[in-house]
């Protein structure tokens, strides 16, 4: 049951990312999508190797989320400096 709930959330975030008009909003939905995929991996593959794969995917998702946040912060600073 939990896998289905997380799967529905991941699908909704993917659809919202496709429909979002704002770039920062789209990146946040993609970030949520990445975290949901790592949760699905951990829930579906219930072995030690599945846990390692889920942890690795989660760490890479976290690094990409930090890169997204840093990029959005830089874009906002550049817009302020241009005005």
Asked if 58 contacts 38 with a C-beta cutoff of 8 angstroms, the reply is: yes
Q: What is the pLDDT of residue 79?
A: 58
Separation between Cα atoms, residue 65 and residue 67, nearest integer Å: 5
Average pLDDT of the residues in 71-80: 68
pLDDT band at 80 (very low <50, low <70, confident <90, very high): low
Does the structure show a pLDDT above 70 at 83? Answer: no
Q: What is the pLDDT of residue 81?
A: 53
Half-sphere exposure of 67 (CA within 13 A, CB side): 8
Separation between Cα atoms, residue 61 and residue 57, nearest integer Å: 6
Tokens encoding 40: 């699905």
Domain housing 52: 2-82
Q: Number of folded domains in the chain?
A: 1
Asked if 36 contacts 10 with a C-beta cutoff of 8 angstroms, the reply is: yes
Tokens encoding 58: 């989660």
For the chain, give the percent of residues with pLDDT over 70.
89
């Amino acid at each position: 049951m939990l896998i289905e709930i997380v799967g529905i959330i991941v699908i909704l975030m993917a659809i919202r990312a496709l429909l979002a008009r704002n770039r920062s909003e789209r990146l946040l939905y993609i970030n949520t999508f990445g975290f949901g995929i790592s949760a699905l991996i951990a829930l579906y593959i219930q072995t030690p190797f599945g846990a390692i794969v889920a942890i690795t995917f989660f760490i890479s998702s976290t690094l990409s989320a930090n890169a997204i946040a840093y990029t959005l912060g830089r874009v906002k600073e550049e817009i302020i400096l241009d005005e």
